[in-house]
Amino acid sequence: MHWPFKITLKKQFSLLLLVVIMLFVAVGYVLQKKLEETQSILHELSNNTLPSMANASETAILSTELFLAIEQLTKANSPAARRIAQQEVQIKINETADQAYKARNNPTETLQLKSLQEEVSQLTQFIDRKLNLAEQISNTLDQLIHFQSVANQHLRPNHYKSEALTLWQLNFSKSIGLAYQSAHLERLNELSLLEQKANILLETLDSYAKQSQPDLQLFLLQFNDQLRLALVSEQGLINLQKSYLKIAGRTRGREHFIRKLVEDYTNVNDQLAFNETANLKQEVVDLTKDIEKQKSWLITALLIFASMIGAILVHYRRVISRLKRLTNKLEGMATPKIEHNTQADEIDELFEAFEHFSNTIKSQTHRLEALSLTDSLTNIANRRAFDQQLQIDLDTNQITQNSLSILLIDIDYFKQYNDTYGHLKGDAALQKVASVIQETLGNHGLVARYGGEEFVAILPNHDMAAAKDRAHQTIQAIATANIEHKKSQVAEHLSISLGLVTQSQGQTDNSDTLMKQADQALYQSKAQGRNQATHYNELN
């Protein structure tokens, strides 16, 4: 039956009751079954589906917080910072596990969280080993400086008449320089070459020690042995740096794997939440159809049977009461408060409340997605957003055959900046540099924080010449910002070095290849004195 205007179910029932008061006996049992089915649907919605959706949303938020906590653990640069970050990660994992258990107690999620727990434990061990190696490297450097000081104190003025001693001191100083150089190299092949140089230099020191004055030979040879032990022995500085680079690489690999685990867990949770939403929609549709059937049964029953009208009235009012309770629960979970149409019936109110609640869930999902793609310090895109956008642009270029350039940007001598001005000033400087780069390049492509003091930009439709122009504009913009840096070796202000690479029309390089090429170009900019830009095509 279709009314020309909307009235509530209660009013419809009252009108029908006046017409067919004596015709409600034969189908009472069938109506009772229908009402019990409706009661079952309402019970499922109120006690299972809606709480499960709310828990799924909370679990998604906890997953994002866990992702950020793992980032802080990886960035830990001291044992104390590592312990604090590990405690925070453990807290977030426990909260996520508790929330997942309350939401669904899904075995797949439990296994994923257990695997994540084990991987975080492995990552913590790698970080501890990396920090321990860094401390050993620092202690060895201090020991070499002490050796040099002791040697200078032991030598008397009359010793300097010996040319062999002068050459020994010169080569000893070179050895100290090689030690400092080895502590800052980041490639194993470069360390191997430097180790060969160190061995040759140590043999030269032995030769000059044997040519020196007799009373100095034993002393100098002992110092040579100490230097050899500290520099090229199995526990020497060069081998310590090799071990540090290997464990650092394993740490980065483990961190990347954990990121994937968190992303997979979040994707599973999102899919489960989506399924819950779909189920809720279907259940509401089923409920609506069922109520429409009940209205038809009610009209038929009123025309045929009247003796059971009182019982039907009681059950029907219970349906309305449960609909109201469901609507109120949905309204309580959604924000802001819903204003219903004055002519809306209970079903309309239920649909309005459900639609508003769905919009609230979508809004929260969008905010979470934006949070996961934004760097928390600089408020520009993060590494994850960059990786996604680069893959999209590379896939697009395979079709459009356009040029695509990548700018890898590193702040010059930023460690010295932090040591001089403190980490709070360092964070402010990172924010300022990010803002300047965003203002300079943001209108031409994506600007993201790549990690630490490194930034990266994707410039679609930019060939080599255009990319170099953008790079020089960025260098000039940073110089114009005039951020003071007294410890810089290239300027009185903060400066940047850039590595550029361009995927020309028809090339099919993947993202890893392009980033390696950009990194090589950046390394060349640093090697040539920093505060400049180098394109990969210029390396040869």
pLDDT score of 436 more than 50: yes
* Tens digit of each residue's pLDDT (9 = 90 or more) over 369-387: 655 789 989 999 999 999 9
Q: Which domain holds residue 517?
A: 383-538
User: Cβ distance 186 to 233 under 8 Å?
Assistant: no
Task: Using the 3D structure, point to which of 243, 262, 294 is the last residue of a domain.
Answer: 243
State phi, psi for 529 to the nearest 5 degrees.
120, 0
Pairwise pLDDT comparison (265 vs 227), residue with the higher score: 227
243, 265, 289: which is the final residue of a domain?
243
CATH assignment of the domain containing 473? 3.30.70.270
Q: Can you give the pLDDT at residue 178?
A: 80
> Is residue 377, in this structure, part of any structural domain at all?
no
> Do 349 and 340 contact (CB within 8 A), yes or no?
yes
Is it the case that residue 118 has pLDDT exceeding 50? yes
Asked if the structure places residue 515 within a domain, the reply is yes
Distance CA 382, CA 454 (A): 11
Tell me the average pLDDT across 94-113: 67
Q: For strand 533-535 and strand 496-503, is the pairing parallel, antiparallel, or unpaired?
A: parallel
Query: Mean pLDDT, to the nearest integer, of 244-270?
Result: 77
Q: Which residue has the tokens 């930019």?
A: 462
Question: Phi and psi (nearest 5°) for 447?
Answer: -115, 130
**Predicted local distance difference test score (pLDDT) of residue 90:** 72
Integer Cα distance of 223 and 148 in angstroms: 9
Question: In this structure, what token pair is assigned to residue 334?
Answer: 């959604």
The pLDDT, as a whole number, for residue 476 is 97
Those residues with Cβ within 8 angstroms of residue 536's Cβ, 6 or more apart along the chain or in another chain: 499, 500, 501, 502, 517, 518, 520, 521
Q: Enumerate residues 6+ apart whose C-beta is below 8 A from 169.
A: 151, 155
Whether 8 is covered by a domain: the verdict is no
Q: What percent of the chain has pLDDT over 90?
A: 26
Residue-wise pLDDT tens digits, 465-513 = 999 999 999 999 999 999 999 999 999 999 999 999 998 776 767 889 9
Q: Does residue 251 fall inside a structural domain?
A: no
What pLDDT does residue 1 have?
Answer: 45
Q: Is residue 389 over pLDDT 80? A: yes
Q: In whole angstroms, what is the distance from residue 123 CA to residue 135 CA? A: 18
Residue 511 and residue 513: Cα distance in Å, rounded? 5
Q: Which residues contact 44 (CB under 8 A, 6 or more apart)?
A: 283
pLDDT at 184: 82
Per-residue model confidence (pLDDT) at position 424: 95
* Pairing label, strands 446-451, 404-411: unpaired
In this predicted structure, the answer to whether residue 335 has a pLDDT above a threshold of 60 is no
- For 55, the token pair is 């828990």
Query: pTM score, two decimals?
Result: 0.41
The mean pLDDT of the chain is 77
User: What is the DSSP secondary structure assignment for residue 537, as one 8-state letter?
Assistant: G
Report CA-CA distances (Å) from 66 to 56, 70, 73, 122, 155: 15, 6, 11, 17, 59
Per-residue pLDDT band for 527 (boundaries 50, 70, 90) equals very high
CA distance 406 to 393: 11
Higher-confidence position of 308 and 107: 107
* Residue 493 confidence (pLDDT): 95
Q: Is residue 223 part of a domain?
A: yes
**Higher confidence at residue 91 or residue 61?**
91
Is 57 a domain residue? no
143 Cβ contact partners less than 8 Å away, ≥ 6 residues apart: 230
Which of 33, 19, 31, 41 has the alpha carbon at shortest distance from 296?
A: 31
Phi, psi at residue 471, to the nearest 5°? -65, -45
Residues linked to residue 455 through DSSP beta bridges, in sequence order: 409, 449
pLDDT above 70: residue 456: yes
Retrieve residue 416's tokens. Answer: 């010295």
- Report which of residues 491 and 400 the model is more confident about: 491
pLDDT of the residue at 368: 59
Average pLDDT estimate for 364-371: 60
Q: Average pLDDT for residues 418-428, to the nearest whole number? A: 94
More confident position, 247 or 454: 454
Residue 416 lies in a domain: yes
Which domain-ending residue is among 208, 243, 278? Answer: 243
Say what the pLDDT of residue 194 is. Answer: 83
257 and 263 Cβ atoms separated by less than 8 Å: no
Residue 488 lies in a domain: yes
Strand arrangement of the beta sheet that strand 446-451 belongs to: 446-451, 454-460, 404-411, 496-503, 533-535
Q: What's the DSSP call for residue 212?
A: S
Structural domain tally of the chain? 2
